[in-house]
């Protein structure tokens, strides 16, 4: 863990070297040549630490070299960005360390995207204030690519996935050839979707990046996740094996990828998942949520037997007084979330209202994010929600119900009746 903390610190410093200085500059004259040379030194350090591969290093160095020859700062910004930059610089690194414990080391492949999803109240308020100021600045300068990308990362840190998607979409529109932004946009598209899958447009964007940058580490990692979501475990293993040589051999990131490979092999062969620790990642994300109640029950029972982990059977019904408010095609989410901890579900099944009353078994194989699974939290809350929009995040007018805190595994079914309207 100490090795990871050191690596994370270096990665965060390198990320901030590219995110914050553009926001701080402006107003008073600066020594442009000296600034570019400073960035070149930061690039050298990032490459030596394994943060940038040779392709990324060469591209960034070429851009800075051109700026040095022209005698101009490649990313000038107004001095009015100072407070926003300073606040985000303080908040994002602190958030990154917590995210590692939540979702695991592969997110360290893109240090600028290291943001937490379980922000504490004070942190969330500070981040909201920084976001509000950044939004104001973007209204004044709507073509600021760096600003839109930073806004997307900040919104993602607060689980505002739709807002993160929209901000990163704008950044992508302004810089369609910027690989890092394209990959972040693809990931945000998946996070903002109801099922969090990478199939479709997210996968197409990632594939496009890999055509021009076949060694892009985050794109390779997400490609493996996408293959796993389709249960193509051989494909996931092959992609992650391509990623491994690009990482420092003794790094926590490489160790985490090796665990993902081992977990994919176990899922492919129908064997129990290998024991993992707090840094284990992504195996859960590889199992797609079931599409129907019948498949949910069958698949979940199989996964539960395979992993011998905790499971909770949930029997869901609709209060007759709310029957007129529900259409057969409305989406039904049945989920478990930590009684104390991040709000993100640790297991979730997606059905339709037409399937009510329904019986679903929630297991470790139904997590939305890596290392957030049913067995991680001893006490969970079980919920059921009907959504007309299909959005996984509760919205006004949705119908729902929540249980009291329960053990994360039990032999008796949990009985839920949907009888509340989200205000």
What is the average pLDDT value for the chain, to the nearest integer? Answer: 72
Q: 302-306, 311-315, 365-369: which has the minimum mean pLDDT?
A: 302-306
Assign 85 a pLDDT band (cuts: 50, 70, 90). Answer: low
- Judge whether residue 281 has pLDDT over 60: no
Q: For the segment 89-116, what is each residue's pLDDT rounded down to a tens digit? A: 555 544 444 333 333 334 333 333 333 3
Q: List all residues 6 or more positions away from 115 whose beta carbon is below 8 Å from its beta carbon.
A: 92, 95, 96, 99, 153, 154, 156, 157
Q: Are residues 332 and 243 in the same domain?
A: no
Res. 25 pLDDT band, cuts 50 70 90: very low
Domain holding 44, by residue range, is 2-203
Confirm whether 404 is domain-assigned: yes
> Is the pLDDT at 296 greater than 80, yes or no?
no
Nearest CA to 157 among 195, 196, 126, 136? 126
- CA-atom Rg of the chain in angstroms: 22
Interatomic CA distance for residues 224 and 239, integer angstroms: 6
Band of pLDDT at residue 335, cut at 50, 70 and 90 = very high
How long a stretch of residues is the chain?
423
Helices in 270-348 by DSSP H: which ranges?
293-307
382: which strand partners?
A: 336
Q: Is residue 214 part of a domain?
A: no
Q: How confident is the model at residue 418 (pLDDT cuts 50, 70, 90)?
A: very high
Query: Could you write out the DSSP letters of every residue in 371-388?
Result: T--GGG-SEEEEEEEEES
Average pLDDT of the residues in 229-258? 87
Q: What local confidence, expressed as pLDDT, does residue 316 receive?
A: 94
Same domain, 65 and 179: yes
User: How many Cα neighbours within 13 Å face the side chain of 410?
Assistant: 16
62-70 contacts, C-beta under 8 A, 24 or more apart: 64/36, 64/39, 64/40, 65/40, 67/32, 67/36, 68/33, 68/36, 68/37, 68/40
More confident residue, 406 or 44: 406
Helix axes 2-19, 252-269, angle to 10 degrees: 110
Average pLDDT on 32-58 reads 61
Check whether residue 297 and residue 269 sit in a common domain: no
Q: How far apart are CA 3 and CA 256, in angstroms?
A: 13
* Residue 123 banded pLDDT, cuts 50, 70, 90: low
Residues 376-401 have a mean pLDDT of 85
Q: Looking at the structure, do residues 364 and 417 belong to the same domain, yes or no?
A: yes
- DSSP lists the bridge partners of residue 334 as 349, 384
State in Å, rounded, how far the first CA of the chain is from the last one. Answer: 43
Q: Does the residue 45 lie in any domain?
A: yes
pLDDT of 184: 92
pLDDT in tens, 200-222: 999 999 999 999 999 998 899 89
Beta bridge partners of 60: none
Percent share of the chain, pLDDT over 70: 59
364: CB partners within 8 A, 6+ apart: 273, 284, 303, 304, 307, 309, 310, 311, 347, 373, 374, 375
Assigned domain for 215 exists: no
Is the separation of the CB atoms in 418 and 382 below 8 Å? no
306 shares its domain with 275: no
Q: Please give the pLDDT value at position 201.
A: 94
Task: Assess if residue 209 is contained within a domain.
Answer: no
Q: Name the pLDDT band for 57 (thresholds 50, 70, 90).
A: low
Q: What is the structure's pLDDT at 363?
A: 87
Number of domains in the chain: 3
> At 63, is the pLDDT very low, low, confident or very high (cuts 50, 70, 90)?
low
Question: Both 266 and 295 in a single domain?
Answer: no
Token pair belonging to 343: 């709000």
Residue 262 is predicted with a pLDDT of 86
Q: Stretch 168-196: mean pLDDT, rounded?
A: 90
Tokens representing 280 are: 């284990």
**Pair 199, 77 in one domain:** yes
In a domain, 115, yes or no: yes
Alpha-helix runs per DSSP H in 50-200: 54-70, 82-103, 121-140, 145-157, 161-174, 179-192
pLDDT of amino acid 186: 94
Higher pLDDT, 67 or 192: 192
Average pLDDT of the residues in 61-90: 51
Residue 375 in tokens: 């067995």
Same domain, 295 and 273: no
Q: What are phi and psi of 132, to 5 degrees?
A: -60, -40
Is 211 part of a structural domain of the chain? Answer: no
Q: What is the pLDDT of residues 129-155, one digit of tens each?
A: 778 888 888 899 999 888 898 888 888
Q: Residue 390's closest CA among 331, 344, 347?
A: 331
Same domain, residue pair 275 and 192: no
Residue 399 has pLDDT above 60, yes or no: yes
Residue 398 carries which DSSP code? -
Query: For residue 145, what are its two tokens?
Result: 């690519």
The answer to whether residues 31 and 125 belong to one domain is: yes
Rounded (5°) CA angle 267-191-21: 120
Most confident of the following: 4-8, 9-13, 167-171, 310-314: 167-171
């Amino acid at each position: 863990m100490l090795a990871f903390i050191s690596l994370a610190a270096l990665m965060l410093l390198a990320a901030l070297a590219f995110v914050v200085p553009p926001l701080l500059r402006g107003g008073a004259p600066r020594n442009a040549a000296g600034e570019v040379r400073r960035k070149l030194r930061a690039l050298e350090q990032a490459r030596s630490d394994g943060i940038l591969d040779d392709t990324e290093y060469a591209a960034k160095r070429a851009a800075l070299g051109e700026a040095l020859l022209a005698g101009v700062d490649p990313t000038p910004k107004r001095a009015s960005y100072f407070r926003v930059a300073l606040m985000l610089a303080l908040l994002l690194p602190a958030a990154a360390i917590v995210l590692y414990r939540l979702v695991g080391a592969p997110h360290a492949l893109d240090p600028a995207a290291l943001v937490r999803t379980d922000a504490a109240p004070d942190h969330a308020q500070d981040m909201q204030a920084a976001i509000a100021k950044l939004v104001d600045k973007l209204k004044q300068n709507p073509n600021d690519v760096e600003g839109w990308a930073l806004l997307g990362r900040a919104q993602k840190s607060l689980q505002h996935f739709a807002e993160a998607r929209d901000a990163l979409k704008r950044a992508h529109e302004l810089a369609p050839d910027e690989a890092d932004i394209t990959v972040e946009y693809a990931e945000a598209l998946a996070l903002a979707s109801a099922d969090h899958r990478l199939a479709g447009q997210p996968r197409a964007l990632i594939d496009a990046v890999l055509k021009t940058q076949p060694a892009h580490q985050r794109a390779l990692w997400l490609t493996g996740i996408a293959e796993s979501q389709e249960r193509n475990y051989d494909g996931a293993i092959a992609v992650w094996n391509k990623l491994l040589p690009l990482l420092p051999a003794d790094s926590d990131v490489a160790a985490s990828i090796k665990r993902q490979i081992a977990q994919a092999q176990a899922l492919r062969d129908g064997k129990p998942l290998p024991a993992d620790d707090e840094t284990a990642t992504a195996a859960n994300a590889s199992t797609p949520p079931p599409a129907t109640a019948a498949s949910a029950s069958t698949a979940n029972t199989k996964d539960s037997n395979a992993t011998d982990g905790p499971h909770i059977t949930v029997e869901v019904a609709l209060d007759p007084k709310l029957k007129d408010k529900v259409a057969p095609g409305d989406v039904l989410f049945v989920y478990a979330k930590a009684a104390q901890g991040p709000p993100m579900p640790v297991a979730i099944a997606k059905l339709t209202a037409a399937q009510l009353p329904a019986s679903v078994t929630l297991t470790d194989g139904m997590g939305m994010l890596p290392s957030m699974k049913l067995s991680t939290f001893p006490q969970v809350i079980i919920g059921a929600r009907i959504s007309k929009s299909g959005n996984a995040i509760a919205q006004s007018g949705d119908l729902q119900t929540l249980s009291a805190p329960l053990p994360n595994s039990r032999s008796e079914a949990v009985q839920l009746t949907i009888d509340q309207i989200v205000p």
